Structure formats: structure tokens, C-alpha cells
Amino acid sequence: MAIDYDLRIIQEARDLARKAKEAQEVLAAFSEEKINKILASISEAAIENASWLAKMAVDETKYGVVEHKVIKNLFAGKDVYEYIKGLKTTGIIKEDPVNKVVEVAVPVGVILGIIPTTNPTSTLIHNSLCAIKAGNAIVFSPHPAAIKCSCAAAQVVNEAAVKAGAPDGIVSCMSRVSMQAVNELMHHEAIALIVATGGSAMVKAAYSAGKPALGVGPGNVPAFVERTANIQQAVKDIITSKTFDNGMICASEQAIIIDEPIKDQVINELKKQGCYFLNRDEVDKVSRLIMTPKGGMNPAFVGKSPDFIAAKAGIEVPAGTKILIAPLEGYGPEYPLSYEKLTTVLGLYVVKDWHEGCLLSIELLKLGGIGHSFVIHSQNDEVIREFIQKPVFRILVNTPSALGGIGYSTGLAPSMTLGCGTWGGSSLSDNLTPLHLINIKKLAYGTVNVDFEKSQASTCSTKTYSPDQISEIVKQVLARLESEKHA
């Protein structure tokens, strides 16, 4: 029976890929106006269905907060749509009259989208809008723990697209998942590009599939509170970010680094705003509970509330506690909470100045967040700009990191897929947009008149002399030599 089940899953993968290919070939001929009409329909449907999709995601995965997943769905459906609808991704997108080069957008084809369990519906909506805007079809492989909500979101998007004139199958989702089926999709001839949003193992598998791939990595984001920071606002931003969907956005803060001169003020403000500080014994209990020996996170505690974690760890915390703070003296394997924690737990460090804060931030990023994001709270622009040199592609200033990283509270491109660049093992360092999902064809007119024969003739031409002229030249040379000899 297991063999039959696996074969059915693989066959479904093949069928979806083939249907997507047929749909994409039709979509590729659509005008920009027609594609934008499809996008508008998808946006409207995403907004209309944001609430029940969010509830479905929480019910199925047991992760996160319904109200916050609604916000993420609305962000993907509305903010992303508003940002991308004016992008030029069809036909001629640029003309250079001086150099006489014309750039033409060409769809990549059929995209395989690998979806995480943390943001299963919002990521799917975002990636669908980006794919279709660029003239592509997309087939999704959901996380095994989020199949139902991912398929529901894909159905909402595909039906809205078809309603506006798109071919059926332009967006689809595997209804069953296995490693064999994902592997089949990755290697299927109809798949042109893989967009992998998920765990490191899946992203590495995508890069090894022999197809172009855009992957994202983990974000062990440090938050440095520098001595000139607006402390009350900085603490509020950190709490807002870390409690948003119970800390499941990869750009959420993982450790607070406090500049020593303001240590007491920041700690008091954290307590005042609802954070609970774990003692050494409680740090050990929470570490053993939510982290694995290899530095990974126990899936059972992803996106959980602080009171849930505290209760499971046998710790009493005040009602209304927002975050569990773990003071740490070091980082690495001996300090499990120094790694990425997609839940409501934060590490905490104190450093003597921004130089030390910078060095510590880099070490924390090396544990699993290189290339992703870093956030600084400061009013000193000179110090802020020192961090431009650091190994991350999103340096977020005076904003909630999770919301700033996805472009909700900053001017970054709104996106649910955040690349980490080559530092993080990713070919994408930006927030994913439709511009990453097109090929660019170039029409180049000649600008230089090339005539190698004429040039060579000019270079190699020689003057001819008569015998009398040659004799006279020889006499002159000999006379000069004789004169120099007696000089």
C-alpha cells in the first residue's frame, strides 16, 4: 500500500507540473494589462479570505496567532500587490537610446515554490503574485504539517486568477507530500526555477537539484540597543516584533545586546513592558525544552506563547508575560538559546560599547544567520553607519525587526521570501519580487562601424623607392658612419 501511495503522490507531481507548463505557455502571451487584471483579482480574493485562511493555518500547524496571520495574509495580498502592480515585467522593459540596447522581459517558465510551515498561506499568496506578475506558473510543495491550509490558499488564488482570465492550473499545490514527490518536482523537465522558503536542509536540496534556485536561510537576528537609543521605543519595537505571530518570522529578533551604560534602564523597561527574566536554573530548563542538542529548535515549541513554554518547563510566570528573557554569558553549543528561536524567547547580552556589540553580533550571526538581518536602535548616525560593513543584507534601524525585514515598517520591497546572499549560501540577497523571476533578453544595435580590412591595409602600407633613390640613401648612411668613425 505504501508503494501505491508513493506512486500516486509522484504521479500528482508530474500531472501538476505538466498542467502548469501548459498554463504558463498561454499566460506568456498575455499583455501587461491582462496580467495586472489577474493580479487585482488575486489581491481581492486574498483580502476577502485572509481571516479563515489564517485560522485554518493555526488550527492545522498549531503555530502562531490567528490575528497576526490575518495581518500577514493581508500584507501579502494587499501591500505586495500595490508594490508590484506598477513594475514593468512584460515585453520591452527598458530602452537605452544612447547605447542602442533594448531590454525585453521573458518569463522563466514554471516555478516550484517550497512553502514553510511558519507562514504557509501568506508566503503562498506572495509567491503566487510575484510569479504571475512575471508571466510564470507556480506549483507549490507545502510543508507536511501545513498541507490543508496551503492547498486552500492555492485554490483561492488559482480560482481568482481563472476568474480574471488566467488559464486553469497557473497556481497549484500538492495535496500530498513526500520527499520522493518533492524530488520529482525538483527534477521535472517542466520546472524551470525553484524558490525554496523553508529549512536549511530543504534549501540545500533545492540548490543541488541541478536547476536554478532562489533559496532563503535562517536569521539569528541580533538587536543592538546602543547608548543613544530611545529606550522605551526600542523595547516596544523589540516586543512588538518578537510577539508578532509568536516570533515565527525569520527576521524576528533572537537576542538583545545592550550597551552597558544603559543596561539597567533597558532591563527595567523590558520588565515594565511585560518581559520575564529567567534565572540561571530556568534558562537551563527552557534550553533543554525548546532546543535540540544540535542547536536546532524543537518543533513542538515553534510559535508558542511564553506562558505555554513556561508551563511545560515548570516555571511560574506572571499573567500577561509577553517574552521570556534568557540572560546569557556566552554563545555556541554550551548556550543553546544563543541560536535561532522562532518563538517567544530572547537571549540577552551586555557589552561595553558598540565595537564589542558589533563583534558579538557577528558571532551570533555565524551560528545560523549570516547574510540575513541585523537591527540597531540608536540616535547616533555615525555608529549606525558603522554597521553597514557587517555581514548581513538587511540592516534595520529603529524598527521592529520582523516587520522591518519584510518591508512592512520600512521602505524595503514587501516580501515573505528574504534572501541571505552568498554569505548565507543563497543566490538571492534581496527581498524576492517579480523582478527576480524574469529573464532579460537584449536587443543590441551596432554602434561602431567595423572594417578590419581597411584598418589593416592602412597599418601595413609601405612606400616604394626607385633603384637610384635606394643607392642615394645607402651613400648617405655610409657617409654618416664614416664621419662618426673619424669624429
Catalytic residues: 250
Alpha-helix runs per DSSP H in 167-291? 179-187, 200-207, 231-243, 263-272, 280-290
Q: What is the rounded CA–CA span in Å between residue 359 and residue 218?
A: 20
Grid coordinates standing for 328? 546569557
The secondary structure element, H or E, covering residue 439 is: strand 438-444
Q: Are 308 and 321 in contact (CB under 8 A)?
A: no
Residue with cell 485554518: 56
Q: How far is CA 425 from the centre of its chain?
A: 12
Contacts of residue 242, defined as CB under 8 A and 6 or more positions apart, other chains included, come to 252, 253, 322, 323, 344, 346, 402
Alpha-helix runs per DSSP H in 291-426? 306-313, 354-366, 381-386, 401-405
Task: Report in angstroms the alpha-carbon separations of 176 from 55, 173, 453, 466.
Answer: 21, 9, 66, 93
Grid coordinates standing for 214? 532562489
